[in-house]
């Protein structure tokens, strides 16, 4: 997962000072947690439900925070001339989305149903954020 706050934390901007705001990919996934499946399966359903709901709240909080920090730093660093930001025009965005198709086809062919699910999620967010960059 990637977002702009990490772009600055890791000093990636020093070697990649050009940012394309495409709206094609996701920049964050702040709600990830990992647990042994056997442990998860051993939890009562109500505990699993609570953990799932809390993860969703935590994901929103982290994503909102990282977006705010990232947006602030993008604006500051662009104003200082440290990075260049290019906002992809909507007509060009369609070409970028199409250029991702071979990758998604590979996911579907190699991952089967999981690949189809990834493609479904990607298409959902591409459509949801089509007007944003």
Structural domain count of the chain: 2
103 and 119 assigned to the same domain: yes
Copy the structure tokens of residue 23: 């709206």
63 and 122 assigned to the same domain: no
26 and 82 assigned to the same domain: yes
User: What's the confidence (pLDDT) of residue 49?
Assistant: 93
72 and 125 assigned to the same domain: no
Measured CA to CA, the distance from residue 75 to residue 82 in angstroms comes to 10
23 and 51 assigned to the same domain: yes
102 and 74 assigned to the same domain: no
What tens digit of pLDDT does each residue of 100-125 get?
A: 889 888 888 999 998 888 888 888 87
What tens digit of pLDDT does each residue of 17-30 get?
A: 887 777 655 555 55
The closest of 81, 86, 71 to 8, measured between CA atoms, is 71
Measured CA to CA, the distance from residue 23 to residue 87 in angstroms comes to 9
12 and 36 assigned to the same domain: yes
70 and 52 assigned to the same domain: yes
What is the C-alpha R_g of the chain? 18
What tens digit of pLDDT does each residue of 79-92 get?
A: 988 888 888 887 88
> Could you list the residue range(s) of the whole structural domain that residue 54 is in?
4-87
12 and 73 assigned to the same domain: yes
40 and 69 assigned to the same domain: yes
């Amino acid at each position: 997962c990637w977002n702009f706050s990490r772009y600055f934390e890791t000093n990636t901007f020093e070697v990649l000072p050009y940012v394309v705001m495409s709206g094609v990919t996701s920049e964050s996934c702040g709600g990830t947690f990992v647990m042994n499946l056997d442990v998860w399966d051993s939890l009562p359903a109500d505990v699993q439900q609570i953990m799932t709901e809390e993860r969703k709240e935590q994901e929103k909080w982290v994503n909102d925070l990282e977006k705010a920090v990232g947006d602030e730093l993008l604006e500051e660093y662009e104003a200082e001339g440290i990075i260049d930001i290019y906002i992809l025009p909507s007509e060009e965005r369609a070409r970028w989305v199409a250029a991702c198709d071979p990758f998604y086809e590979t996911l579907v062919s190699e991952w089967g149903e999981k690949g189809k699910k990834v493609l479904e999620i990607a298409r959902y967010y591409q459509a949801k954020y089509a007007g944003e960059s």
